[in-house]
Amino acid sequence: MKTEQKSPTSGEVVFERVTKRYGDVTAVDEVSFRVSAGELVTLLGPSGCGKTTTLRMVAGLEPVTSGRVTIGGEDVTLRAANERNVSMVFQSYALFPHMTVLENVCYGPISMGADKAKARQLAQQKLGMLGLTGLEKRLPSELSGGQQQRVAVARSLVLEPAVLLFDEPLSNLDAKLRRHVRDEIRELQQALALTVLYVTHDQEEALAVSDRVIVMECGRIAQEGTPEELYEAPRSRFLADFIGDANLVDGELRVDAVARRSRRAACACRCAPTACRPARRCSPCGRTACASCRAGRD
Amino acid sequence: MSAVHGTLERAVFVPAHRDRLTAVVAAIALVALAVLPWALGGGASALARAHGGAAAFWPLVAAAAGAALFAWRGLDRATAAIAAFAVLWAFAAGFAAGPRGLSFGIGAGVALLALTVVFARAIARRGRFAGDTVVATVVVVIAGLLLLFVFFPVGKALVAALFDADGRFAPGLAAQRLLTPDIWSLGCFAGGTRCGVAINSAVLATIVGVGSTLIGLVLALVVQRGGQRYAAITRLLSVLPIITPPFVLALALVVLFGRTGVVTGWLSEWFGIPRSRWLYGLPGVSIAQLLTFSPIAFMILHGALQAISPALEEAAQTLRASRWRVFRTITLPLLKPALANAFLLGFVESLADFGNPIVLAGNYEVLSTKIFFAVAGAQHDPGQAAALAMVLLALTLVAFWMQQRWLGKLSYVTVSGKGDGGVHASLPRPLWTGSFTFAALWIVFTLACYAVILTGGFVKDIGRGDLTPHLGHFASGFGVEWRNGGPAFTGSAWDSLFTTMLVAAVAAPLTAIVGLLSAYVITRHRFVGRRAFEFLTMVSFAIPGTVIGVSYIVAFNVAPLELTGGMAILVICFVFRNMPVGVRAGVAALAQIDKTLDEASSTLRASTVRTLTAVILPLLRPAIVATLVFSFTHAMTAVSAVIFLATAKYNLATVYIIGRVEAGEYPLAIAYSSVLIFIMLAVLLAVQAMVGESRLGRRAAATIATGN
């Protein structure tokens, strides 16, 4: 079955009240969000918060327990991975070790029924775009970590998917390279107007690379917003502590003494003191509170 | 399909595209019913028979047509139901007709297989097996084959124990058969009379279990603690059991120590020790089985000794423990699980062994040979054989159950994360000297036995001590003449050798396919009933070959599944007996291949079939080769099950050799055995040369696959 190649901008991911349960354990709990076309959205959170499960449900590697997933306006809730217009860059890169770089990148088009010449042409184009020309005949074991990572990106891009998924793509790179590749991914995304969903547990990486960030905690969305919003107006003690360095000051809350915004913060930190209890809305002011003070912008 | 907002029935994917393949497969079933001869031995097709008045075929034909129609219309639930009905109806009608009825032939085979596939694909489209039609097909078809070729025959044989010779239900007779003193008598312990056959088997198995564990331990201590010098012993002992047909060592013992044996002759000439038949009976079988099975104990204990962290022994030494104390309080206790494992494996192997007792047991009756004589001997009493098979199976299962229980509790993890450096403690002096001496003698003894087999064919009559060089045995067994411009294989052994190689060559790839596909679905896919399926695939490992042989005779001698007498049943027997090894090899190899490779393939739009063929299979090459070699050599050396199934027309090498032994033609038997050993050694070396290279390639690959 040869599906038509959609332009990369047509992808919009919508998650509607999606839940994933493994037996009694709820990994993702009624999560709803939207990734607009051409946007790079990061799923950020500590390990075990459900972010990778969420990504895998977008990819179709895990079936959802309930809820609805749409990609590019099409309901794909019941579609398996190989029937969705998405591609994924894995944490381990998952390059096929017995195939050359070119064979790896040709794999997708050939799976979709392209002939060899066409597949090779598509692959060469993407390899050139990522500066990998000349390495076609190498095996993955003969590449450096950074090169492997780029081959993995080229392999995902070659199908021009509606959505590109990244699962902690930088965690196997050394610190210096990490920054460089991060910027490259962002540039590529903006140049091609790709829709990208990006999973990481690294706050700095998330703030640097994203249009919007979704912070997850215990299978739920803790807060969603632009990097600036998250940095400056964390809704809970967890968020204030998790994103960036902050001085948390406990104190008593008085209406007249505190600005409106910080009162919101104070409220939230009272209402979500324990890790896995969902944050509840709370009354505008209370007796004790904490304020987060950050260095940098005033 | 509209999206679901509330909780889905199950968390599954449903294939999007219309499923033409199911309709095509259903159509194949219909064509097979219409065109291919339904029954064994040709004749009319099912449709023609139905038209000719055999009313039982109408529902089948109608159901197949219905399945094709429903599949075409995309009505998956109806398709599954009607395909299942068709298969069940065919079997029910076949069995209802009884032994006088028709036996399934090519048409039945194709149609029923196709309908099973239709059923599997249809239930996958209803959401079973995570919606994966390929996985569903693999699981349903393999489980069906296992039920048909392992559970059905064994079950039927066990039930046969409850019926008398005329096929009447006879629980009294069954109780009598099962509880007879012939089986359970403890007379030999009280002195005088003989023991029952089950007691005999258990005594022998206990001796062999304990003995082979001790011998294996001694050899392992020498090799492991003696350093690199003795690595050759490891290689020798790991290869010998693979290439040795199971009666060869018994044969060597007869030639050396029998009444007219070489050593017996020397002893009587030089020391005046009278010739006797001491070898035939418990002593001979025990020695032969110890020679045969101690390499297995050695491999287990060698691995366990290697796994003991040297740091533990060093720690004990720094705590002022003497070498004895280290050995007694650290090394030996840590070996306990491996010792238990080695014992039980020796016990089970001895119980199931047929080759050594048939040559050496004499009047000492054991279960495996007694089962054989109950079927093949003058008495011909399948009911008696079935009862004995029941006892043997029960003993084996108890041993396996004990193994599972003990090992579950006894396992110590001594290697954790990082490998410790350090040197293993050396053995206490006297222990080392004793072990070394014993190990050396044992190895010399083993080599002497092999030397007898490898040279015995080249002398006039090694069985009677006549050592004049002579090539006549090879000439009579493997003579080739040039006739009419082509070679003519006039030797008496050629037929059986060719049949054996053909059967082994056909069975090996089938075993690999069935075993590795099972391993793939077990390790890579989650589905309801996965544990049950895994259990199904492993069960035949615990069933002794003799039991399988009897079962096949009982179950596949009559319609509707009349298979005995042909070559197919030999292949089927080998495939399902050796399959558990393929499953294990596949599971181990797949554990080394990162699962994200499958997922990457899937997100790149590859179907399950493409993922299998383009990603998994190439990476599984070493496991595939290992399974091919194992099932080939096992098919070449097996005796216990196939001795029931081989016929004059399709004889097998091992069965032929046993026949020569029973006729007293030792030289030809020995010459043939040496040929077998050489063939298998050649296969093994050739394959090792091949796999050696691919291993190198894979090691580099493995580091990528795990992403480090």
Give residue B617's identity as a one-letter amino acid code.
L
Confidence band (pLDDT; 50, 70, 90) for A107?
Answer: very high
Please indicate whether residue B184 or residue A5 has the higher confidence score (pLDDT). Answer: B184
In the structure, what pLDDT confidence band is assigned to residue B418 with cuts at 50, 70 and 90?
very low
Query: Other C-beta atoms within 10 Å of A2: how many?
Result: 7
Give the Cα separation of B506 and B512 in Å (integer): 11
Last-in-domain residue among A183, A217, A251 = A217
Among A21, A29, A58, A83, most B C-beta atoms within 10 A, so best to mutate, is A83
pLDDT at residue B415, rounded to an integer: 41
Res. B335 pLDDT band, cuts 50 70 90: confident
Find which of B228-232, B631-635, B646-650 is predicted with most confidence, using mean pLDDT.
B631-635
Q: Which residue of A has its CA nearest to B706?
A: A92
pLDDT at residue B706 greater than cutoff 80: no
The alpha carbon of residue A261 is apart from the nearest alpha carbon of chain B, in Å, by 36
Chain A positions touching B14 (Cβ under 8 A) are 78-79
Q: What is the pLDDT of residues B138-180, one digit of tens each?
A: 999 999 999 999 999 999 888 888 877 777 787 888 788 777 7
The answer to whether residue A3 sits within a structural domain is no
Chain A: residue whose CA lies nearest to B130 = A63
Q: Whole-angstrom Cα distance, residue B314 to residue B158?
A: 54
Domain check: are A86 and A192 in the same one? yes
pLDDT for position B290 = 94
Tell me if residue A1 falls in helix, strand or coil. coil
Among the residue ranges A177-181, A287-291, B626-630, the one predicted with the least confidence is: A287-291
Q: What pLDDT is stored for residue A294 in this prediction?
A: 63
Asked whether residue A170 falls in the same domain as residue A289, the answer is no
The stretch A139-153 carries a mean pLDDT of 90
**What does the pLDDT look like over B94-114, one tens digit per residue?**
888 877 788 888 889 999 999
Averaged pLDDT, B108-135: 90
Q: Are strands A196-200 and A163-167 parallel, antiparallel or unpaired?
A: parallel
Does residue B416 carry a pLDDT above 50?
Answer: no
Average pLDDT in the B308-329 region? 82
Residue A1 lies in a domain: no
Structure tokens at B249: 């060592």
Residue A109 lies in a domain: yes
CB contact at 8 A, B540 and B577: yes
The beta-carbon neighbor of A61 closest among B599, B604, B615 is B599
> In chain B, pLDDT over 90 holds for what percent of residues?
27
Closest by CA position to A285, among listed A272, A275, A262: A262
Measure CB to CB from residue B11 to each of A64, A87, A165 and give the nearest one.
A64
Cα B599 to the chain's mean position, in Å?
A: 33
A262 CA: distance to closest CA in chain B (Å): 38
CB pairs under 8 A between A and B: 143
State the fold for domain B183-415+423-469: MetI-like fold (1.10.3720)
- Residue A228 falls inside a structural domain: no
pLDDT band at A251 (very low <50, low <70, confident <90, very high): low
Q: What per-residue confidence (pLDDT) applies to B144?
A: 94
More confident call, B690 vs B94: B94
Helix (H) or strand (E) run with residue A237 in it: helix A237-242
Provide the pLDDT for residue B476. Answer: 81
Q: Looking at chain A from residue 250 to 269, which residues have their Cβ under 8 Å from any Cβ of chain B? A: none
Q: Check whether residue A205 and residue A240 sit in a common domain.
A: no
CB distance from A135 to chain B under 8 Å? no
CB B354 within 8 A of CB B639: yes
| DSSP structural state of residue B384 | H
Is A227 domain-assigned? no
- Mean residue pLDDT of chain B comes to 84
Q: Is the Cβ pair A94, B610 closer than 8 Å?
A: no
State percent of chain A over pLDDT 70.
78
Chain B partners within 8 Å of A156 (Cβ): 603-604
Tally Cβ neighbours within 10 Å of residue B674. Answer: 21
Boundary-marking domain end, from A171, A189, A217 = A217
Instruction: Give the confidence band of B504 by pLDDT, cuts at 50, 70, 90.
Output: very high
Q: Examine the pLDDT at A55 and tell me if it is beyond 90.
A: yes
Sign, Cα dihedral of A111, A116, A118, A124: positive
Query: Which DSSP string do the residues of B15-61 spell out, in sequence order?
Result: --S--HHHHHHHHHHHHHHHHSB-BTT---BHHHHHHTT-TTHHHHH
In chain A, the number of structural domains is 2
Average pLDDT over residues B537-559: 86
Same domain, A210 and A240: no
Asked if A79's CB is within 8 angstroms of B604's CB, the reply is: no
Whether A154 and A102 map to the same domain: the answer is yes
pLDDT at B233: 79
Q: What is the pLDDT of residue A124?
A: 93
**Same domain flag for A205 and A241:** no
**Per-residue pLDDT at A89:** 92
Contacts by B270-279, CB closer than 8 A, 24 or more apart = B277/B362, B279/B253, B279/B254, B279/B360
Q: Are B145 and B30 in contact (CB under 8 A)?
A: no
The answer on pLDDT for B131 being more than 70 is: yes
Distance of CA A187 to the CA centre of its chain: 16
Instruction: State how far Cα B73 lies from the chain centre.
Output: 44
Inter-chain touch B597–A96, beta carbons under 8 Å? yes
User: Is position A115 within any domain?
Assistant: yes
**Cβ atoms A247, A293 nearer than 8 A:** yes
Flag if A90 and B5 touch (Cβ within 8 Å).
no
- Greatest CA separation for chain A: 72
From the list B16, B610, B619, which residue is nearest A98 (CB)? Answer: B619
Choose among A214, A17, A222: nearest CA to B8.
Answer: A17
Report the pLDDT value the prediction gives residue B414, as an integer from 0 to 100: 44
A298 inside domain? no
Please report the pLDDT score of residue B535 as a whole number: 86
Query: In B, what residues contact A, Cβ < 8 A?
Result: 1-8, 11-17, 130-132, 594, 596-597, 599-607, 610, 614-615, 618-619, 697, 700-708
- pLDDT level of residue B136 (50, 70, 90 thresholds): very high
B213 has pLDDT over 90: yes
- Domain B471-708 top-level CATH class: mainly alpha
Domain identity same for A251 and A206: no
pLDDT at A267 over 50: no
Give the number of other Cβ atoms within 10 Å of residue A73's Cβ.
10
Residues of B with Cβ-Cβ distance to A148 under 8 angstroms: 704
Per-residue pLDDT, A260 = 52
DSSP single-letter state for residue B229: G
> Domain residue spans in chain B?
183-415+423-469, 471-708
Domain range for A243: 234-293
Residues B12, A63: C-beta atoms closer than 8 Å: yes
Domain boundary among A163, A191, A217: A217
CATH code for the domain of A51: 3.40.50.300
Cα B421 to Cα B301: distance, rounded to the nearest angstrom: 21
- Let me know whether A45 and A191 are in one domain: yes
Asked if A111 and B130 come within 8 Å (Cβ–Cβ), the reply is no
Q: Is the pLDDT of residue B345 over 90?
A: no
pLDDT tens, B248-271? 889 899 888 888 788 888 888 888
Q: In this complex, do A94 and B6 lie within 8 Å of one another by their Cβ atoms? A: no
pLDDT value for A253:
53
* B301 contacts B339 by C-beta, under 8 angstroms: yes
DSSP sequence for B608-642 = HHHIIIIIIHHHTHHHHHHHHHHHHHHHHH--TTG
**Residue A214 pairs with which residues in a beta bridge?**
A43, A224
Cross-chain residue pair A65–B606, CB shorter than 8 Å: no
Question: Taking residues A45-66, what's their average pLDDT?
Answer: 90
Based on DSSP, count helices (H) and strands (E) in chain A, helices before strands: 9, 12
One domain for residues A162 and A255: no
From the list A60, A67, A148, the residue facing B13 with the nearest CB is A60
Q: Which candidate in A62, A107, A173 is best for mutational testing of the B interface (most B CBs within 10 A)?
A: A107
pLDDT tens sequence across B574-626: 999 999 888 988 888 888 888 899 999 999 999 889 999 999 988 888 888 88
Q: Touching check for A94 and chain B: CB below 8 Å?
A: yes
Burial of residue B54 (CB within 10 Å: 0-12, 13-18, 19+) is middle
Query: What is the mean pLDDT of the segment spanning A56-78?
Result: 89
The predicted complex's ipTM stands at 0.79
Q: Residue A35 domain-assigned? A: yes
Q: Which residues of A touch B697 (CB under 8 A)?
A: 98
Backbone φ and ψ of A23, nearest 5°: 65, -120
Buried (b) or exposed (e) across B610-634, using 16+ Cβ within 10 A?
bbbebbbebbbbbbbbbbbbbbbbb
Question: Which residue(s) pair with A247 in the sheet?
Answer: A293
Residues 34 through 93 of chain A touching chain B, CB cutoff 8 Å: 59-61, 63-68, 75, 77-84, 86-88, 90-93
Determine, for residues B602 and A61 on separate chains, whether the beta-carbon distance falls below 8 Å.
yes
* Tokens at B123, concatenated: 């239930």
Q: For chain A, give the mean pLDDT.
A: 80
CB A50, CB A216: distance < 8 Å:
yes
* Number of Cα atoms under 13 Å in the Cβ half of residue B248: 32
Rounded percentage of chain A residues whose pLDDT exceeds 90: 33
pLDDT of the residue at B694: 45
CA-wise closest residue to A296 among A207, A186, A222, A225: A207
For B602, list phi and psi in degrees, rounded to 5: -65, -45
Mean pLDDT of B187-205: 82
